[in-house]
Amino acid sequence: MANHASAEKRNRQRIRRTDRNRAAKSALRTELKKARSTVESKPAEAAAAVKSAVSTADKTASKGIIPKKRAARIKSRLARALHKATKAAS
């Protein structure tokens, strides 16, 4: 428990940041799940879902919520899966 006013303020800030980061990570995971399932089930409509997931990954990385290299890895894997699915569908 914080004993100084500055420590109490830092604790309030930590709680706000944690909530914001948790919400952003959850949104990213949801977008990724949607994109992956769309790539598997409907390759024709998957491009839009992948584009949205890539955008969300970029946003979370730019805010420092996830590392930039993790975002790059996510985007690469999504692009590879999309390419493979569209190639198989055609």
Which CATH number do you get for residue 72?
1.20.58.110
Q: Domain range spanning residue 63? A: 5-89
Tell me how many degrees the CA angle 65-46-37 measures, rounded to the nearest 5: 70
Instruction: Supply the DSSP string of 36-77, one letter for each residue.
Output: HHHHHH-GGGHHHHHHHHHHHHHHHHHTTSS-HHHHHHHHHH
For the segment 52-86, what is each residue's pLDDT rounded down to a tens digit? 999 999 999 999 999 999 999 999 999 999 999 99
For the segment 14-36, what is each residue's pLDDT rounded down to a tens digit? 999 999 999 999 999 999 999 99
What's the number of domains the chain is made of?
Answer: 1
